[in-house]
Amino acid sequence: MTNPLAPGSLAGKRILVTGSSRGIGADTVSYFAEAGARVVINYRNKEARAVKLQAQLAEKGAEALVIGADLTDQASVAQLFEKVKEAWGGLDVLVLNASGGMEADMGEDYALRLNRDAQVNVLQAALPLLNPGSRVVFVTSHQAHFIRTTPTMPEYVAVATSKRAGEDALREHIPELETRGVEFVVVSGDMIEGTITATLLNRMNPAAIEQRREAAGKLYNVAEFAAEVALAAVEPVGADHTRLVGDTTGFEADERAGE
């Protein structure tokens, strides 16, 4: 996948992508770094992968910080942004990519704590570092974005509802963000081939990916979707603050959300 961002186009920009030691987050942070941005590679428990990515980017002349944090722990989040402040003084782009809820032994309320509560807490902790002209990007899925009007597979309901709750909670902050001159956009994609979530769903519901691919005609892979997330950080934000990636056939829009 070719980097959708022009070389040097993000020179001087400071960008943090949560959950960026692997998958969509890693590819997104790589696109930013290759375009000249200084980036934060954030992880919860995959430090080795984060350090490896940092080394790979350094070989290309990019500056990357590796900062671990448990986003469900307010103290850990506070330390994350304190380290960013000490290093760079502020942020130009915050990508809220980290999500979950299908992990074992994390507690029944983990999906809500991570996908709703943690997203809001991270945004609030980042606000002092976001100056006018900066942007916040929230990454979600069609299965979550449209969950109020379009049912999803039973195995994904808890995650989908918690991610929609997180999106709703973040959207409530749009007036405050606009007052500060900070832009906000939601990037929603169909099921992404190659992600951990898709793999887990396919284990629990065999043929889930194949069925969705047939319905949509095409599913984005990790690198392709990451490219859309990267573009969402720089391209104009629509009036509905929403960037839909891929086919939406079968998903019914929620008129209350202005979709």
**Pairing outcome for strands 64-68 and 183-189:** unpaired
More reliable by pLDDT, 186 or 248: 186
* Statement: residue 200 has pLDDT above 90: no
B/e letters for 201-215, b = 16+ CB within 10 Å, e = fewer, are bbeeeeebbeebbee
The pLDDT score that the predictor gives to residue 259 is: 47
What pLDDT, on a 0 to 100 scale, did the predictor assign at position 254? 75
Reduce the DSSP state of residue 30 to 3 states and report it: helix
pLDDT at 97 over 70: yes
What are the start-end ranges of the E strands in the chain?
A: 14-17, 38-43, 64-68, 91-96, 130-141, 183-189, 242-245
- Condensed to tens digits (0 to 9), the pLDDT of residues 110-160 reads 899 999 999 999 999 999 999 999 999 999 999 999 999 999 888 889 999
How high is the mean pLDDT of the chain? Answer: 90
Top-confidence range, 56-65, 213-222, 241-250: 56-65
Cα Dmax for the chain:
49
In this predicted structure, what is the pLDDT of residue 202? 62
Decide if pLDDT at 257 tops 60.
Answer: no
Q: Please give the CATH architecture assigned to the domain spanning 14-247.
A: 3-Layer(aba) Sandwich (3.40)
Task: Please give the model's pTM, rounded to 2 decimal places.
Answer: 0.92
Determine the average pLDDT of the residues in 208-212. Answer: 70
Q: For residue 170, name the pLDDT band (cuts at 50, 70, 90).
A: very high
The percentage of the chain sitting over the pLDDT mark of 90, rounded to a whole number, equals 73
- DSSP-derived letter for residue 236 is P
